Amino acid sequence: MFGYEGGQTPVLARIPKRGFNNANFRVQFQIVNVAELDVFDDGERADPETLAGRRMIRSGGGPVKILGRGELKKKITVVAHAFSASAEQKILQADGSVEIIQDK
Protein backbone atom coordinates (compact mmCIF):
# COMPACT_ATOMS: atom_id res chain seq x y z
CA MET A 1 0.00 0.00 0.00
CA PHE A 2 1.48 3.32 -1.11
CA GLY A 3 2.34 5.76 1.69
CA TYR A 4 1.95 3.24 4.53
CA GLU A 5 4.99 3.14 6.78
CA GLY A 6 4.11 0.57 9.43
CA GLY A 7 2.31 2.82 11.89
CA GLN A 8 4.69 5.77 11.92
CA THR A 9 3.79 9.14 10.45
CA PRO A 10 4.19 9.04 6.65
CA VAL A 11 6.98 11.14 5.14
CA LEU A 12 4.50 13.38 3.26
CA ALA A 13 2.86 14.32 6.56
CA ARG A 14 6.24 15.05 8.18
CA ILE A 15 7.44 17.47 5.48
CA PRO A 16 6.65 21.08 6.44
CA LYS A 17 4.15 22.90 4.29
CA ARG A 18 5.46 26.41 3.66
CA GLY A 19 4.62 29.48 1.68
CA PHE A 20 1.50 31.06 0.38
CA ASN A 21 -0.07 30.24 -2.95
CA ASN A 22 -2.56 32.78 -4.27
CA ALA A 23 -3.10 31.08 -7.63
CA ASN A 24 -6.89 30.87 -7.29
CA PHE A 25 -7.40 34.61 -6.78
CA ARG A 26 -4.48 36.10 -8.73
CA VAL A 27 -5.23 38.66 -11.43
CA GLN A 28 -3.47 37.56 -14.63
CA PHE A 29 -2.95 40.61 -16.86
CA GLN A 30 -2.50 40.53 -20.62
CA ILE A 31 0.66 42.51 -21.30
CA VAL A 32 1.19 45.05 -24.11
CA ASN A 33 4.37 47.11 -24.36
CA VAL A 34 4.42 50.74 -25.49
CA ALA A 35 6.55 49.86 -28.53
CA GLU A 36 3.75 47.59 -29.82
CA LEU A 37 1.31 50.53 -29.80
CA ASP A 38 3.28 52.27 -32.55
CA VAL A 39 1.21 50.42 -35.18
CA PHE A 40 -1.75 52.70 -34.47
CA ASP A 41 -2.25 55.91 -36.46
CA ASP A 42 -2.20 59.41 -34.95
CA GLY A 43 -5.41 60.18 -33.06
CA GLU A 44 -6.53 56.56 -32.99
CA ARG A 45 -7.96 54.89 -29.88
CA ALA A 46 -6.24 51.76 -28.56
CA ASP A 47 -8.70 49.93 -26.32
CA PRO A 48 -8.99 46.20 -25.51
CA GLU A 49 -11.36 45.60 -28.45
CA THR A 50 -9.01 47.14 -31.03
CA LEU A 51 -6.00 45.40 -29.45
CA ALA A 52 -7.82 42.07 -29.75
CA GLY A 53 -8.78 42.92 -33.33
CA ARG A 54 -5.10 43.37 -34.17
CA ARG A 55 -4.24 40.13 -32.31
CA MET A 56 -2.09 41.87 -29.72
CA ILE A 57 -4.13 40.30 -26.91
CA ARG A 58 -6.70 37.51 -26.63
CA SER A 59 -10.34 38.51 -26.77
CA GLY A 60 -11.90 38.02 -23.34
CA GLY A 61 -8.59 36.87 -21.91
CA GLY A 62 -8.59 39.13 -18.87
CA PRO A 63 -7.56 42.65 -17.96
CA VAL A 64 -4.96 44.53 -20.02
CA LYS A 65 -1.83 46.18 -18.61
CA ILE A 66 0.41 48.51 -20.61
CA LEU A 67 4.13 48.32 -19.81
CA GLY A 68 6.81 50.86 -20.69
CA ARG A 69 9.26 48.94 -22.88
CA GLY A 70 10.06 50.84 -26.05
CA GLU A 71 9.17 54.26 -27.39
CA LEU A 72 5.95 55.77 -28.70
CA LYS A 73 6.08 58.39 -31.43
CA LYS A 74 2.37 58.80 -32.18
CA LYS A 75 -0.41 60.66 -30.41
CA ILE A 76 -2.95 58.01 -29.45
CA THR A 77 -5.51 57.42 -26.72
CA VAL A 78 -4.74 54.24 -24.77
CA VAL A 79 -7.49 52.56 -22.75
CA ALA A 80 -6.52 49.72 -20.40
CA HIS A 81 -7.10 48.33 -16.92
CA ALA A 82 -3.61 49.23 -15.61
CA PHE A 83 -0.49 51.12 -16.67
CA SER A 84 3.06 51.05 -15.39
CA ALA A 85 4.41 54.46 -14.37
CA SER A 86 6.91 54.53 -17.24
CA ALA A 87 4.27 53.54 -19.81
CA GLU A 88 1.93 56.31 -18.67
CA GLN A 89 4.79 58.82 -18.80
CA LYS A 90 5.82 57.79 -22.34
CA ILE A 91 2.26 57.98 -23.65
CA LEU A 92 1.76 61.43 -22.15
CA GLN A 93 5.14 62.63 -23.50
CA ALA A 94 3.97 61.69 -27.00
CA ASP A 95 0.93 64.00 -26.43
CA GLY A 96 -1.34 60.98 -26.10
CA SER A 97 -3.87 60.32 -23.38
CA VAL A 98 -4.46 57.53 -20.87
CA GLU A 99 -7.83 56.16 -19.75
CA ILE A 100 -8.13 53.56 -16.99
CA ILE A 101 -10.98 51.04 -17.12
CA GLN A 102 -12.60 50.67 -13.70
CA ASP A 103 -14.00 47.16 -13.22
CA LYS A 104 -16.65 46.54 -10.63
User: Between residues 65 and 18, which one has the greater pLDDT?
Assistant: 65
31 half-sphere exposure, CB direction, 13 A CA radius = 7
**For the chain, counts of helices (H) and of strands (E):** 3, 6
Average pLDDT across the chain, whole number = 91
Neighbour count for residue 2 (Cβ, 10 Å): 4
What are the boundaries of each domain within the chain? Answer: 27-100
As a whole number of angstroms, the distance between CA 97 and CA 40 comes to 14
For 55-64, what is each residue's pLDDT tens digit?
999 988 899 9
Q: What is the pLDDT of residue 104?
A: 53
Considering the segment(s) 27-100 as one domain, its CATH architecture is Ribosomal Protein L15; Chain: K; domain 2 (3.100)
For 64-91, what is each residue's pLDDT tens digit?
999 999 999 999 999 999 999 999 999 9
User: Between residues 19 and 89, which one has the greater pLDDT?
Assistant: 89
